Chain A
């Protein structure tokens, strides 16, 4: 099994690499373009994939990945399943802050079980969960900004913060059921 390991390669100088994994390959394209257009003083490298494991041919040329983003489309069950299976090919070292979940199309009428399942997954893995608006450019730009903020920490650009420290602050916590009841 070819696991993607966080520390198996040496890091690049002045670089940050982000990997977008999406089953449908729709959102990742425009998100990648927006990320690259942002004004950063490091070289941001965006790699796109459909699912893990990544093909062996690129193993040598692939740089060290700082942040792995799973884009889950709520309207399709296959998206969620593919993300779940891809998680197995990720070394556990990544889950200490170097994995992020992005959910799209949360506004459309979806069965709530899928969203709850995604939330439980994010909570159990202690990863941040972002909701993205993929129809408007502002939504895409906002998501790009947020991902870049997390990427800055995981790539080591923020001096006193590491990805593990950030994960303790940003990890998704499930709201307990009693909170829903007390809303009235």
Chain B
């Protein structure tokens, strides 16, 4: 475990020295810092395995060789262990056990990784807080960054508050709109009901109207027939109706074009 701390502090130094170049925008330096930490975390805080080729520092090379040898020793130890406890079982049993063991191994790896992440997170925070208490230009830069972060956070808070209030107002308005919609729906339904309800009363009116209309038709037919008859009489009698004023009035009414309901 000593090696992990050693590597970490080496990389820590590398990461912390990057904040010295203040020519960049503080956000850029934060971004570099974050990406540096990310690569270190992805490499599980151990030496990079691909390596930078010939320009590797001897310290990292020795660490790498040491890790390689410990890994090889572990493999040989495992082989010895299997050699000691040799029991006979068929392959299907072995394969079932294999699946269980690989699952257990995966879970152990995951918990180990999470715990080492948490540990390193604590280490980073401790290192940052220690740094902030000091008085060198790096610490000044970090303090400036933290103050800026705090300002941004308070701005975020106020903006969020405003957005929540606006959201509440929107919700109230939407409720009101829903109420109005509901009321209009109810009114529409009442109107439709009223339209239907007219029916029994209008039934009587329709009957009366029907009767009246039939009467009217009857009388109109009578009038038409009488007029035709009178017309016939006057024409057949060959009387000069233009000279007699009374007969002329009657004949003029006869010549009205009757509007018949045909």
Residue ranges of A at the interface with B (Cβ–Cβ < 8 Å):
6-7, 11, 13-14, 39-42, 93, 152, 155-160, 162-165, 168
Contact = CB atoms under 8 A, between A and B. Distances in A.
B65 interface: yes
Interface class of chain A by DSSP: loop
B56 to A, nearest CB: 6
List the 8 closest pairs (A to B, CB-CB), nearest first: A41-B51, A156-B71, A156-B72, A156-B68, A11-B72, A159-B67, A168-B102, A39-B53
Contacts of A42: 51, 68
Interface in B94-111: 98, 102, 105, 109
Contacts of A163: 75
Contact of A7 (B44, B79, B102): B79
B192 to A, nearest CB: 56
A93 B52 contact: no
A168 B44 CA distance: 22
B69 A11 contact: yes
B64 interface: yes
B19 interface: no
A106 B75 CA distance: 35
Given A7-B75, A157-B64, A159-B46, 18 more contacts: A6-B79, A7-B76, A11-B72, A14-B68, A41-B50, A41-B51, A41-B53, A41-B61, A42-B68, A93-B79, A155-B68, A156-B67, A157-B49, A157-B71, A158-B49, A162-B71, A164-B78, A165-B105
27 contacts: A7-B76, A7-B79, A11-B69, A11-B72, A13-B65, A14-B61, A14-B65, A40-B51, A41-B51, A41-B53, A41-B61, A41-B64, A152-B49, A156-B68, A156-B69, A156-B71, A157-B64, A158-B71, A159-B44, A159-B47, A159-B67, A159-B71, A160-B44, A160-B109, A162-B71, A162-B74, A168-B102
Contacts of B78: 162, 164
Contacts of B53: 39, 41
A40 B53 CA distance: 6
Nearest to B52: A41
Contacts of B98: 168
Contacts of A11: 69, 72
Interface string B106-124: 0001000000000000000
Interface of B is mostly: helix
A11 B69 CA distance: 8
- The residue in A13, A42, A158, A159 that gathers the most chain B C-beta atoms within 10 A of its C-beta is A159
A41 B56 contact: yes
Nearest to B75: A162
A164 B79 CA distance: 11
Contacts of A13: 65, 69
Contacts of A159: 44, 46-47, 49, 67, 71
B85 to A, nearest CB: 16
Contacts of B68: 14, 42, 155-157
Nearest to A11: B72
A41 B64 CA distance: 10
Contacts of A160: 44, 109
B207 to A, nearest CB: 74
A155 B75 CA distance: 10
A145 to B, nearest CB: 11
Interface in B123-159: none
Interface in B22-56: 44, 46-47, 49-53, 56
A158 B76 CA distance: 16
